[in-house]
Structure 1
Amino acid sequence: MTTTERAAASHLLPSAEPLALIAADGSPVPDPALELPDGEVLLRLYRGMVAGRRFDTQATALTKQGRLAVYPSARGQEAAEIGGILALRPQDWLFPTYRDSMAVVARGVDPVEVLTLLRGDWHCGYDPYRANVAPQCTPLATNTLHAVGFAHAARIKGEDSVSLVLLGDGATSEGDTHEALNFAAVWQAPVVFLVQNNGYAISVPLAKQTAAPSLAHKGIGYGMPSVLVDGNDAAAVHAVVEQAVARAAAGEGPTLIEAVTYRVESHTNADDATRYRDRAEVEQWLARDPIARLKQYLTDRGLLDDARQQEIDARAEAEAATLRERMNVDTELDPAELFRHVYAEPTAALRQQAAELTAELTTGDQA
């Protein structure tokens, strides 16, 4: 490799340490590579995180009450979820995973419709085109390919749209992610990969998934700029994603972002995290709470007082109460819905199956 080639490749490498704008104690951390969002944006981030955590705890409670079949909590990852989402423009698209429910809600999707998947009623309970949010991806990493294909198609059609795809550290071990990163870089597709490295792929720690210095370092292998950011610093995540979205929109191609954060709760309510990690590790990360961090920063600068805090908390609590009330209503299931959205025009086989089911249900009712 020539000196020129080395210089050209050096800009693809992430920093040695995660970029940050606000330290764990709430103090500012100036960084020449990032611009601190203004006070109004920081307040929006804070409101979003408080509401997101309250939604998350309410969904967890609904699972314990039998109202949801399963729920993957994102507690502790609020800065990465909300910081990334609020950096999107209205015309941009989000490609979320099953753990990104609070991000989908923050994008403007009805929370009850979001939880329809986790209640087991629909694979996707909302209209993706209403808020530019693709269906939540349950199979690991398949949404990475969806995002790249969608972004590439948007560019071909001349649309000003960027795709943000959310994935976890475990998804980076999947072949789909490799293919998505490779195609995105070759096609220079307007897509941003935001990896929420929360430490574990169910019970598998990051050290057993990769020997790379960081997941962000993988970007150079695809010829893609990469960024390593403190995933518990909402300001830094927002700034990094905003930069990446601007690059993609300007035709400068994709970016790989690794946000270092932590999954405080178990993988889902069906998982026992005490079997593979100790409480001391969790306590260490609880001390880096992303909401407490931003709250301290805002309070120190007079942007957040008791009255505003009470208003934010009250709104989050009201939204949780409404969600609880609506989720405690039994769903009226229509078996005919099984056939309604398989094809735009039902096939002969589907029509026959639907008729057989209707006849069987009618016979059962009469009996």
Structure 2
Amino acid sequence: MIQILNEDGKIVNEDAMPDLSDDDLVELMRRMVYTRVLDQRSIALNRQGRLGFYAPTAGQEASQLGSQFALEQDDFILPGYRDVPQLIWQGLPLYQAFLFSRGHYHGNQMPEDVQALSPQIIIGAQITQAAGVALGMKNRGKKNVAITYTGDGGASQGDFYEGVNFAGAYQAPAIFIVQNNRFAISVPVEKQSAAKTIAQKSVAMGIPGFLVDGMDVLAVYKVVQEARERAVNGDGPTLIETLTYRYGPHTMAGDDPTRYRTEDMDSEWEKKDPIVRFRKFLEEKGLWSEEKENEVMETAKEEIKAAIKKADKQEKQSVTELISIMHEELPANLKEQMEEFKEKESK
């Protein structure tokens, strides 16, 4: 497993340290703290009935944000449903992220400068899509990558093998990240595969594979940065497994993690918290303080409050409006439905 910072925030692999400025390091920490607050507020909003579908992210900030920090603006992100933070830091306005959770179509309309698809709900479907996006980039001579995320459960899907194998066969500039948070909803990773790691599955597909400490933001950044360099230089895709942990439930739709996780396991992983370990590292360098962290938290709360208010003001979508933007030319069945709902909405 590749690791740069241990649980105490000490460098254990000096040679692997990425070339990041002090400002970069502070910005990474700011984003992780902000995202932790966003997760806490999103859970509260969900419980209040003000958000719809939500998958908690606490514990996975290093995996999510360390990888996104290694990207360029024109790289293409194909996220899973837990990967909204990467979209936000790539440029998706926060209020649109809230609208996505509510099922509003505007939450799926990416700004022109954000190269991404909406979070995929179907487990693993984004992996085959990423292979196709990456091949398209290669064929057009673009020096960018397609990056996609799934969990350990996604690595048990047929789409995982098809997508990664296809990208390898065509040397497409793709990065496949499996965020191994130990449980596919409730099934432990040990029961999903006889393989000791997910990263080793890359061997059968003939591409590089890396096992990374997913609670170590510097290690994640470094491995993704190098994978991106290989991809844009024509050396094909990379499979990266980040060992991480989600502190909350699988989603807020009724999952109870106490039925399949022990208190001892939770306590063990809380000691590896990505924010705590990075905080220790930055404080030792004189780059972070409790005052600075509190400022970030307060800013996050204010911006979240403003974003949810803006989402509340978004005009509610109608069925006819949704149908009208589904196709350039509506097929016969949707034309019938359009007329049916026009009549209902006019009453």
What is the TM-score normalised by the length of structure 2? 0.94
Rounded to whole Å, the distance in 1 between the matches of 2:305 and 2:99 is: 17
Which residue of 159, 184, 197 corresponds with 2:142? 159
Structure 1 position 261, deviation (Å): 0.4
Query: Matched residues in 2 for 1:51 and 1:306: separation?
Result: 14
Q: Secondary structure of 1:192's partner?
A: strand
Aligned residue number for residue 299 of structure 2: 315
Deviations 1:259-296 (A, max 9, x none): 10001101112101111111221111111110111111
Tell me the residue number matched to 2:192: 209
Q: Which runs of 5+ in 1 are unaligned?
A: 1-17
- CA shift, 1:346, in A, is 2.4
1:132 pairs with one of 97, 115, 123: 115
* Candidates 62, 73, 76, aligned match of 1:90: 73
Q: Which residue of 2 aligns with 1:43?
A: 26
Following TM superposition, by how much is the alpha carbon of 1:169 offset from its aligned partner in structure 2, in angstroms?
0.5
Contact 2:209 2:239 in 1 (8 A): yes
The whole-number CA distance in structure 1 between the counterparts of 2:110 and 2:232 is 25
Give the counterpart letter for 2:81 in structure 1: Y
Shift of 1:349: 4.2
Post-superposition offset of 1:165: 0.5
Per-residue CA distance 1:160-196 (angstroms, 9 max, x = gap): 2201111110000000000011101100000001111
- Whether contact under 8 Å (2:96, 2:106) holds in the other structure is no
Matched, 1:291 2:256: no
Cα gap change, 1:56 to 1:352, in 2 (>3 Å): same
Q: How much identity, in percent, do the aligned residues show?
A: 34
**Equivalent residue, structure 1, for 2:226:** 243
2:180 is the counterpart of 1:194: no
Normalised by the size of structure 1, how large is the TM-score?
Answer: 0.89
Q: Distance in 2 between matches of 1:293 and 1:134?
A: 32
Q: Kindly tell me: are residues 313 and 117 of structure 1, through their superposed partners in 2, closer, same or farther at Cα, counting changes over 3 Å?
A: closer
Q: Please say if 1:107 is aligned against 2:101.
A: no
Which amino acid in structure 1 is aligned with residue 214 of structure 2? G
Which sections of structure 2, spanning at least 5 residues, go unmatched?
A: none
* Residue 57 (str. 1) matches residue 37 (str. 2): no
Cα pair 1:20 1:31 within 8 Å, conserved? no
Instruction: Describe how 1:245-284 pairs up with structure 2 within 5 A.
Output: 245-269=228-252, 270-284=254-268
CA contact (8 A) 1:151 1:191 kept: yes
SS at match of 2:337: helix
CA distance in 1, matches of 2:223, 2:309: 37
Structure number with bigger Rg: 1
Contact kept? 1:22, 1:235, Cα under 8 Å? yes
Corresponding residue of 2:337: 353
Q: Distance in 2 between matches of 1:74 and 1:323?
A: 19
